[in-house]
Amino acid sequence: MAEARRPGRPLGGVHGPFSGFERLSVLDFTKLLPGPYATQMLADLGCRVTKVELPHFPDGARDMPPLVDGVGSLYWMVNQGKRELPLDFRKPAGLAEARRLVAEADVLVEGFRPGLMDRVGLGAEEALRLNPRLIYCSLVGYPTAGPWRRKAGHDLNFLAVSGFLGLSAPGQRPAMPPTQVADLTGAMGAVTAILAALLERHTTGKGRRVEVSMAETAHSLLPVALGELRAQGTDPGAGGRWWDGSHPFYRFYQASDGAWLAVAALERPFALSLLEALGLGALAPLADDPAANAARLSEALEGAFKAAPAAAWAERLADKDVCVTPVNRLPEAGPFLERLKDPTGG
């Protein structure tokens, strides 16, 4: 796979590699998206990652279209810079080699259903016996101590049970997420746990097993809504919250060319600056209580943004502190972010 072509990099927004990470050896026993995304982040940090695959049951993402240079685009995106090792660890010779690798590794990441690694002789207890300094990370859908430990699931299921999707207004169809939120944040949670365990090992000299549940990780993404639930005892998904599109200064508005703009001028100074920039300064008193004046403010903002195309608004608001950004389509997003890294602003 060509290392020069790396769209979407760096994963997690982390610009590596970092000095010292090249000394860390990572065994990747994962497939598809969550586990490989986690180990790709470790590879991007500078770790030496070895992807171990059963020859007769390799990562299904390899052949998942569309293809890049004959390789599934998903596989290509999250398996760059890794050493690939076909190894039948279900047979004695392969298991012996896998155990040798485990004994020398710093980190092992696995994403199988609970129990599989134990059955083949590579479970956490045995792996830590072979290598007491090992960080053994299991990335799972649901907590392995509970009744759903072996229940099949994918990203949509994890988001569903976590409350993430249920924040839509009651009675409405939940919105389909545009990406695999639970999978990817679970992967980031796994990387966080691994780095924390490595730091702990620096003090104690001992490894440990860490487990990250994607359903629980998705639940943890809701601090604002969970805080409201705890404080008020009412369903935050019932609407009328500042973060659900009800707030006039925290929602989407459409420009005259049909493009959408994201407005997040929540704090009063931002709201006042936005009203002034849009020629709506007379409405400034309404910004003292945006919720009470939501209908009037939203109508005025909608009319103002409809008066010009998105490019004109980008130019007009470029030097204004108003928290307005374009809603980029994916082909636009990469070049846009690349421009943000250009110190000349070109």
Do 223 and 169 form a contact (C-beta atoms < 8 A)? Answer: no
Whether the upstream peptide bond of residue 55 has omega within 30° of 0, thus cis, is: no
For CA atoms 129, 130, 135, 137, give the dihedral sign.
Answer: negative
Take residue 137 and report the two structure tokens written for it: 């990370």
- Per the listing, tokens 């890294």 go with 341
Tell me if 133 sits within 8 A of 58, measured CB to CB: no
DSSP string, 42-73: HHHHT-EEEEEEBTTB--GGGGPSSEETTEEH
Phi and psi of 208, rounded to 5°? -165, 165
Q: d(Cα 28, Cα 109) in Å, to the nearest integer?
A: 5
Between CA 232 and CA 240 the distance in angstroms is: 14
Structure tokens given for 262: 């994201």
The whole-angstrom distance between residue 115's C-alpha and the CA centroid of its chain comes to: 26
CA gap 108, 49 in Å, rounded: 10
Question: Do the beta carbons of residue 120 and residue 95 sit within 8 Å?
Answer: yes
Terminal Cα distance for the chain, rounded: 31
Bridge partner residues of 124 (DSSP) = none
168, amino acid identity: S
3 state SS of 289: coil
**Residues recognised as catalytic:** 154, 183
